Amino acid sequence: MKILALAVLTASLTLAQTITVEFDAAADFPRYRTFALRSGQLNSRSPALNSELVGKKIDESITRYLSAKGLTQVFDHADLNVRYHFGSARKTEIERYPAGWRGWGTRVVRVPYTEGTLVIDLRDTATHSLVWRAIAHENKNNPDKIAPKLDEMVKKSIAKYPPKH
């Protein structure tokens, strides 16, 4: 029974990244050829995640993966403006599993973890409207373990650009 409890606890702490993408179906994505990285916001209580170096890492990853998609970074007159927001929050997940004599009863375990969320927005500069958004979530039991996953979060997000209608 203890092995089962340990397996359940370990599985909950190793949750995979989830990526959600939203886009404007009316947008003409093939016409977007250039992008400009405009601003990024970091919002975390963890010093490991709320630093200028984390912002630079996200900037570099976004530039690398959008460039790999055939877009060119420019500093003026871009087709798309790129903005991102990254934050983290401490959360607690409550898990219940059978315990006690012959499995009659329930054991409740509180599992603390940190959720890191990265939102990447692409805005059409001609219409000033949001045309594509990726939201990446990463859950770890320690906020310091989210920082090394930022490049992967950006890579998996940008992999879904342009959207397939």
- Report pLDDT for 97: 65
Q: What percent of the chain has pLDDT over 70?
A: 80
Sequence letter at residue 53: L
Q: What value does the mean pLDDT of the chain take?
A: 83
Instruction: Return the pLDDT at 165.
Output: 66
Nearest-CA neighbor of 13 among 86, 107, 91, 88? Answer: 91
Exposed, middle or buried: residue 6 (CB in 10 Å: 0-12, 13-18, 19+)? exposed
pLDDT, position 102:
64
Taking 50 as the threshold, does the pLDDT of residue 3 lie above it?
Answer: no
Q: Is the pLDDT of residue 19 over 90?
A: yes
Domains of the chain, each with CATH number or no CATH: 2-158 (3.30.160.670)
List, for residues 49-73, the tens digit of each pLDDT value. Answer: 778 888 999 999 999 999 999 999 9
Query: In this predicted structure, which of 24-28, 36-40, 59-63, 94-98 has the lowest mean pLDDT?
Result: 94-98
Of the candidates 67, 78, 72, 62, the one whose C-alpha atom is nearest the C-alpha of residue 121 is 62
